[in-house]
Amino acid sequence: MHEHVASLLATRRWLVLTGAGMSTASGIPDYRDPDGTRRIQPMRIDEFRTSAEARRRYWARSYVGWQNLRRATPNPAHQAVTALQRLGVAGPVITQNVDGLHQAAGSEAVTELHGSLARVVCEACGDVSPRQDLDARMAAANPGFVGVGSQIRPDGDAVLSTLQVDTFRAPLCRTCSADRLRPDVVFFGDMVPRERVAHCFDLVERAEGLLVLGSSLQVMSGLRFVRRAAKRDLPIVVLTRGRTRGDELATLKWEVALEEGLPALADTLTNSDSTTISSLTCR
């Protein structure tokens, strides 16, 4: 199957759209079962903004989950996307993930559709700071805090007991001291910034094809780009496990573990006719 997919990919330059399935082999779980059913309910933005207790619960869980997330490293699927870019087969990447693993693998032109956990922003004064700095401040404010999460989530937090949460001191802004810090990500129920959406639509307009990797496309933030590509009559190739909301729009779908399928594709394209690859890199 991978040779058939590779023969299609070799004909043009592809915009890449990635989801949580890209990072599962790096130890970061996704939100959904293979049939698309959500098994984890993330915190909603309205709850986070209106409840100091919700913010404390989030930061206690995030403090524990971040220790796992920051140790995550790119898996062979991330490395294969970088290889496809260097071959000229893949172009820019739009990722729904907030883990930074595409960039860690060396991929370029990555748009983080849902933001990044590596940054923290204060909604009161707008101050932006590195997550590692906030982590150090939370450690200093919570000496001896040991949280053991029963489950690490894809947005970087962990499931903790009520007792663990109740003993945690939530962080305050280093600039204005407000209890309004949040990770620089799009929460469930929040909106992707308009200018970021416009940029992604522009990428679709300039693409020759759309390659969807590891996304169920259950939320509109990613599905809308697939629908735009379909309106342009672009070929759409989907590689993931399980059903997606874009299956009926796909030119080709391959149900495969990305950490296995993508390296096979990259190897096949690397060893294919150099004339074909050279013609792509010159576009």
- The CATH number of the domain holding residue 258 is 3.40.50.1220
Residues above pLDDT 90, as percent of the chain = 71
How would you classify residue 74: left for phi > 0, otherwise alpha for psi between -120 and 50, otherwise beta? beta
Domain span at residue 152? 40-71+117-185
CA distance 80 to 86: 10
Are 263 and 155 within one domain? no
Please check whether residues 126 and 247 belong to one and the same domain. Answer: no
Q: What is the CB-side half-sphere exposure of residue 253 using CA atoms within 13 A?
A: 15
- Look at residue 162 in the predicted model and tell me its pLDDT: 57
Domain boundary among 129, 157, 185: 185
d(CA 227, CA 204): 10
pLDDT band at 41; cut points 50, 70, 90: low
Q: Is residue 172 predicted with pLDDT exceeding 80?
A: yes
Same domain membership, residue 195 and residue 230: yes
User: Of 185, 214, 244, which marks where a domain is finished?
Assistant: 185
Number of structural domains, the chain?
A: 2
- pLDDT for 66: 84
Give pLDDT, residue 281. Answer: 40
Q: Are residues 250 and 155 in the same domain?
A: no
Closest CA to 28 of 75, 95, 64: 75
User: What are phi and psi for residue 196, nearest 5 degrees?
Assistant: -70, -40
For 195-252, the pLDDT digits (tens) are: 999 999 999 999 999 999 999 999 899 999 999 999 999 999 999 999 999 999 999 9
Select the more confidently predicted residue: 163 or 86. 86
pLDDT given at position 167: 84
pLDDT at 161: 55
For 114-154, the pLDDT digits (tens) are: 999 999 999 999 999 999 999 999 999 998 776 554 455 55
Q: Supply the pLDDT for residue 34.
A: 54
Higher pLDDT, residue 61 or 45: 45
Please report whether residue 33 resides in a domain: no
Q: Do 258 and 220 lie in a common domain? A: yes
Give residue 137's pLDDT. Answer: 95
Same domain, 262 and 127: no
pLDDT score at 70: 84
Letter for the amino acid at 165? Answer: V
Catalytic residues, which ones? 114
Which pLDDT value is given to residue 188? 87
Residues 96 and 46 placed together within one structural domain of the fold: no
Sign of CA dihedral 43, 155, 55, 61: positive
Number of Cβ atoms within 10 Å of the Cβ of 248: 7
Mean pLDDT of the region 89-109:
97
Has residue 259 been placed in a domain?
yes
- On whether 125 is known to bind a ligand per the annotation, the reply is yes
Write out the chain in H/E/C secondary structure. Answer: CHHHHHHHHCCCCEEEEECHHHCHHHCCCCCECCCCCECCCCCEHHHHHHCHHHHHHHHHHHHHHHHHHCCCCCCHHHHHHHHHHHHCCEEEEEECCCCCHHHHCCCCCEEECCEEEEEEEECCCCCEEEHHHHHHHHHHHCCCCCCCCCCECCCCCECCCHHHHHCCCCCCCCCCCCCCEEEEECCECCCCCHHHHHHHHHHHHHCCCEEEECCCCCCHHHHHHHHHHHHCCCCEEEEECCCCCCHHHCCEEEECCHHHHHHHHHHHHHCCCHHHHHHHHCC
Claim to verify: residue 104 and residue 222 sit in the same structural domain = yes
The answer to whether residue 251 is domain-embedded is yes
- Domain end position, chosen among 170, 185, 200: 185
Query: Residue 194: is it exposed, middle or buried by C-beta count within 10 angstroms (0-12/13-18/19+)?
Result: exposed
**Mean pLDDT within 159-181:** 83
Say whether pLDDT at 275 is over 90. Answer: no
Mean model confidence pLDDT for the chain: 88
Global pTM value: 0.88
Q: How confident is the model at residue 113 (pLDDT cuts 50, 70, 90)?
A: very high
Q: Cβ(200)–Cβ(79) under 8 Å?
A: no
Same structural domain for residues 132 and 107?
Answer: no
Decide if 228 contacts 204 (C-beta within 8 A): yes
The verdict on whether residue 173 carries a ligand-binding annotation is yes
Q: Say yes or no: 142 and 282 in one domain.
A: no
Question: Do 65 and 79 have their domain in common?
Answer: no
- The pLDDT assigned to 260 comes to 96
Spatial separation of the C-alpha atoms in residues 149 and 56, rounded to whole Å: 15
Question: Tens of pLDDT along 50-94?
Answer: 999 989 988 988 888 887 788 899 999 999 999 999 999 999 999
Q: Residue 28: its pLDDT value, please?
A: 87
Residue 35 lies in a domain: no
Considering the domain architecture, whether residues 140 and 230 belong to the same structural domain is answered as no
Question: What distance in Å separates the CA atoms of residue 244 and residue 229, rounded to the nearest whole number?
Answer: 16
The domain that contains 172 carries what CATH number? 3.30.1600
